[in-house]
């Protein structure tokens, strides 16, 4: 049985202060190198995009060829050409290449759409078909192919050339919204999510999957914004839609809510438990201790205090009886408006065991006093 070929989106990004890939002569050399690296039987080039700061490839590779093989055949040579052109032996690209597997033909068609609008998002042109450093114009028949084989990309969209080009035009006519575009940039590693690294410093980190959806759908678009979105969602699940933040709840319920946020953040690889503690203005040890005491029956404050005792007890019972599982994407975005529509994390009943049992490992009797937030 023959193993089918696989489609990959491969991207290189230049160092800050880019523009090093600009200029028709250099871009023509890069284009020829891209075509040469995809000569049969080495694979099929479905799409390429050259900008002053990025190189994008949509490549279908045979099983015996990995994205790393293709990247080495292109990246090292292009970096040498750039150094020669600018007369500087410095770094050209930000780290190594990044490769993202495209699992289905439908996903490949969506990738076409995002790549078509990438030059517009970078401010290089006003419409996808206006950018000269892309294979889109040749695929649509708007310019000469000049060695680029248009049949492989057209086969993704239809059986005949006319049908395929009509379907491709229809697909790229739908401009991605701001949230959808930001999520795609985060998923492909072109952007990193900013977050609080320490008391007075900021740092960025890569995010993927549902964490990228949370960052893209939050305000501000960063780790802190994603944590606020998770905090708001936990408040809704605890039956407190009128409460602005977890700090406004009674200590037991607030501690459990913060533990839920920390557990989700770690599970989704959004950030560490220590980052969640800093977000809530607590040291990690204090944060862990509050979570542990709030789950311990008979602890001070476990029973609701004065004022709204029944409500606090109900909220605490709700926090103790729910556990989280990642049953679907956290954020569903509307394609046209780009706004988040709903949070879709499923909850399951947990009559026994620690809260967030789906993500916290069971504690051994010897370590009963210890605590983990993720």
More confident: 165 or 359: 165
The 10s digit of each residue's pLDDT in 198-240 is: 544 567 888 888 899 999 988 888 898 999 999 999 998 888 8
pLDDT of amino acid 2: 57
**pTM confidence score:** 0.70
The 10s digit of each residue's pLDDT in 264-321 is: 999 999 988 888 888 888 765 545 544 444 444 443 333 333 344 455 555 555 544 4
Average pLDDT over residues 112-125: 96
Inform me whether the pLDDT recorded for 139 exceeds 90.
Answer: yes
pLDDT of amino acid 367: 40
Q: Hey, what domains does the chain have and what are their CATH numbers?
A: 6-175 (3.30.70.1290), 184-367 (no CATH)
At residue 212, what are phi and psi to the nearest 5 degrees? -65, -40
Place of tokens 């944060």: 287
Which of 105-119, 191-205, 337-351 has the highest mean predicted lDDT (pLDDT)?
Answer: 105-119
pLDDT of amino acid 322: 42
Range with the lowest mean pLDDT among 70-74, 203-207, 210-214, 257-261? 203-207
Inform me whether the pLDDT recorded for 368 exceeds 70.
Answer: no
What residues does 56 pair with on adjacent strands? 11, 49
Place of tokens 């032996």: 89
Angle in degrees, CA 161, 166, 167, rounded to 5: 100
- Cα separation of 14 and 93, whole Å? 4
pLDDT of amino acid 31: 95
Token pair in block for residue 272: 């560490």
pLDDT of amino acid 88: 82
pLDDT of amino acid 317: 53
């Amino acid at each position: 049985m023959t193993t089918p070929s696989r489609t990959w989106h491969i991207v290189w990004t230049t160092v800050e202060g880019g523009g090093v890939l600009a200029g028709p002569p250099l871009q023509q050399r890069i284009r020829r190198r891209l075509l040469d690296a995809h000569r049969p039987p080495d694979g099929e080039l479905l799409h390429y995009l050259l900008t002053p700061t990025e190189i994008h490839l949509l490549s279908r590779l045979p099983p015996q060829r990995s994205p790393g093989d293709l990247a080495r055949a292109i990246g090292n040579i292009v970096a040498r050409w750039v150094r020669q052109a600018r007369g500087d032996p410095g770094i050209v690209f930000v780290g190594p290449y990044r490769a993202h597997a495209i699992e289905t033909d439908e996903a490949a068609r969506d990738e076409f759409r995002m790549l078509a609008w990438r030059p517009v998002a970078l401010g290089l042109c006003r419409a996808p078909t206006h950018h000269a450093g892309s294979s889109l114009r040749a695929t649509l028949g708007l310019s000469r192919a000049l060695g680029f084989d248009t049949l492989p990309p057209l086969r993704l969209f239809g059986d005949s050339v006319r049908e395929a080009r009509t379907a491709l035009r229809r697909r790229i006519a739908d401009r991605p919204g701001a949230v959808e575009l930001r999520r795609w940039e985060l998923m492909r590693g072109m952007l990193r999510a900013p977050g609080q690294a320490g008391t007075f410093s900021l740092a960025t980190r890569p995010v993927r999957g549902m964490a990228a959806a949370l960052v893209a759908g939050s305000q501000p678009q960063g780790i802190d914004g994603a944590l606020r979105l998770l905090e708001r969602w936990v408040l809704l699940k605890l039956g407190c839609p009128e409460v602005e933040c977890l700090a406004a709840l009674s200590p037991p319920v607030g501690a459990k809510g913060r533990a839920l946020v920390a557990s989700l953040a770690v599970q989704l690889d959004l950030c560490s438990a220590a980052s969640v503690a800093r977000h809530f203005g607590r040291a990690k040890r204090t944060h862990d201790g509050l979570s542990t005491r709030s789950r311990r029956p008979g602890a001070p404050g476990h029973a609701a205090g004065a004022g709204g005792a029944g409500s606090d007890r109900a909220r605490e019972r709700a926090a103790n009886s729910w556990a989280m599982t990642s049953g679907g994407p956290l954020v569903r975005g509307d394609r046209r408006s780009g706004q988040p529509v709903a949070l879709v994390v499923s909850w399951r009943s947990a009559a026994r065991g620690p809260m967030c049992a789906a993500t916290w490992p069971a504690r051994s009797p010897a370590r009963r006093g210890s605590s983990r937030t993720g």
